[in-house]
Amino acid sequence: MGFAYTDLSVDRDDLRDDVLTGLAASPKSIPPKYFYDEAGCRLFEAICAQPEYVLCRTEQSLMAAHLPDIAAALGPVDCIIEPGAGDCVKVRRLLDTLHPANLVVMDIAGAPLAAAAEPLSRDYPALAVTALGMDFIHDLEAATPYLPAGRRLVYYPGSSIGNFAPDEASALLARFRQLASAQGQLLIGFDLKKDPQRLHAAYNDAAGVTAAFNLNLLARLNRELGADFDLTRFRHYAFYNPVAGRIEMHLVSLAEQDIHIAGQRVHFALGETLHTEHSYKFRGDEFSALAQIAGWTLKAAWEHDGFAVQLYG
């Protein structure tokens, strides 16, 4: 049916404003969406292959084992919508089973998304593939004109929902509810609460890939905003906070130093951190409560080795 790519981010680049706002805050922070430049996308793929980071492989195993049940619970689907689709690998399993007429994928990294999505139109000749380069967190509603009529499924795998604080997660789920329309459904994956040591190891892999991914954010700011971060003066630091129920990722300043970025000077004290990501972990009932607030009704749930997939209508 063909392939179409539209870049909806050309008139909106919030990198400078978001970074300067985050660096002026206390504590300092930068939204994790800015991890995903070209190098960041490659590094994240490498993280998923690390032996300590079993989340992706566990999700794939769960989907493979329960796909017939998932498909039966879903019923007919005309259009799959995947926000944050990245390399478009995970959705292939659903395409093979559900045979929808349309696929709409979106990601802030537009060029890598287009490169990953175009082959889908060749591999599935009966499928119309639409790729949208966009910041769906801010501009999700901009995707509405590109959605065909019919029964829609919002697919949000990989525990990306954990990057949002609970109230933010519920707000995003409510926007997914609107995007899906009245008869639509949501299939979502998330990481479950588990042994803190296991979680700690996943974000502190022995090969240092997650550390490189975290530090690459500073390299991006040097390149795109003219910053002068010395990457050797910052250390990747990630830990599980059991009270908040989340992994926190930081870059810790190893010295008292001033950074210049986008014409501004930013001071870092010795030991001060730049918070780059958090990843919430849930119990199944905790997550379903968030989804219910957002207007979703739980239809089915599956769990495997510390990971969950839930279906909502």
User: Both tokens of residue 257?
Assistant: 């130093």
Q: Is residue 188 part of a domain?
A: yes
154 with 291, same domain? yes
Q: Is residue 2 part of a domain?
A: no
132 with 17, same domain? no
Q: Is residue 202 part of a domain?
A: no
What pLDDT score does 108 carry? Answer: 87
- Give how many domains the chain has, as a whole number: 2
The model's pLDDT over 146-162, given as tens digits with 9 standing for 90+, comes to 999 999 999 999 999 99
| Whole-number Å distance between alpha carbons of 106 and 30 | 21
Residue 37's domain comprises 12-48+208-280
- Would strands 246-253 and 264-268 be described as parallel, antiparallel, or unpaired? unpaired
Give the mean pLDDT of the chain.
95
Strand, coil or helix: 106: strand
What pLDDT score does 11 carry? Answer: 46
What is the pTM assigned to this prediction? 0.92
pLDDT at residue 13 greater than cutoff 70:
no
Residue 204 backbone phi and psi in degrees, to 5: -135, 55
174 with 102, same domain? yes
166 with 258, same domain? no
